[in-house]
Amino acid sequence: MIRAALALAAALAACAPAATRGGGPERLAGHVAVVGSAPMNVRLALRTADGRSVYVTGPVSAELRALAGAEVEVEGRMERGAFAASGYRIRSVDGRPVLSGTVEAAPGGGVQLRLPDGSAVRLGAGAEQLRAGQKVWVQGPTQVQVQTYGVIVP
């Protein structure tokens, strides 16, 4: 009986998505998609490289909605058929790498981006539209000019 239960558990683990295996935080990568028909059936999904679509819920799902189309890596766990995301990292937007963080006033004027690791990157030309307190992603040469940006949290 115990041997059969262990065999069943091993078989189920082998069939589980990669994000659900192992200890520690679970991670799942893919492109963010808002799917369904508005206004009722709209859901957030992550389209993985292997073609799966995994529904995403959790405390950061509102921020992830603002990132539709971006490639992200979410951290969390599978719960009731959906991935409950508690954190994320943006890998790219339109296939190009980005920096993301919170806009703040820079010493000496202008603005800088406070990154999740605590470091700051000064934002030059093109950052005039950004306001302190916004959570954003930016593309472009660091410390020179912002070529493209998106607001995650206004």
Query: 43 falls in which pLDDT band (50, 70, 90)?
Result: very high
Query: 149 falls in which pLDDT band (50, 70, 90)?
Result: confident
Q: Edge-to-edge strand order for the sheet containing 111-114?
A: 120-123, 111-114, 99-105, 135-139, 148-153
Amino acid at 145: Q
For residue 9, give the H/E element and its range: helix 2-15
Of 61-75, 88-102, 115-129, give the lowest mean pLDDT range. 115-129
Report how many helices (DSSP H) and strands (DSSP E) the chain contains, helices first.
Answer: 2, 10
Instruction: DSSP letter for 141, please.
Output: S
pLDDT of residue 8: 30
Q: From CA 5, how far away is CA 12, in angstroms rounded?
A: 11
pLDDT of residue 135: 97
Query: 113 falls in which pLDDT band (50, 70, 90)?
Result: very high
What pLDDT, in 10s, does the model give residues 75-109?
999 999 999 999 999 999 999 999 999 999 999 99
Contact of 26 with 19, CB cutoff 8 Å? yes
pLDDT of residue 16: 42
- β-bridge mates for residue 27, sequence order: 75
pLDDT of residue 38: 78
Average pLDDT over residues 126-145: 83
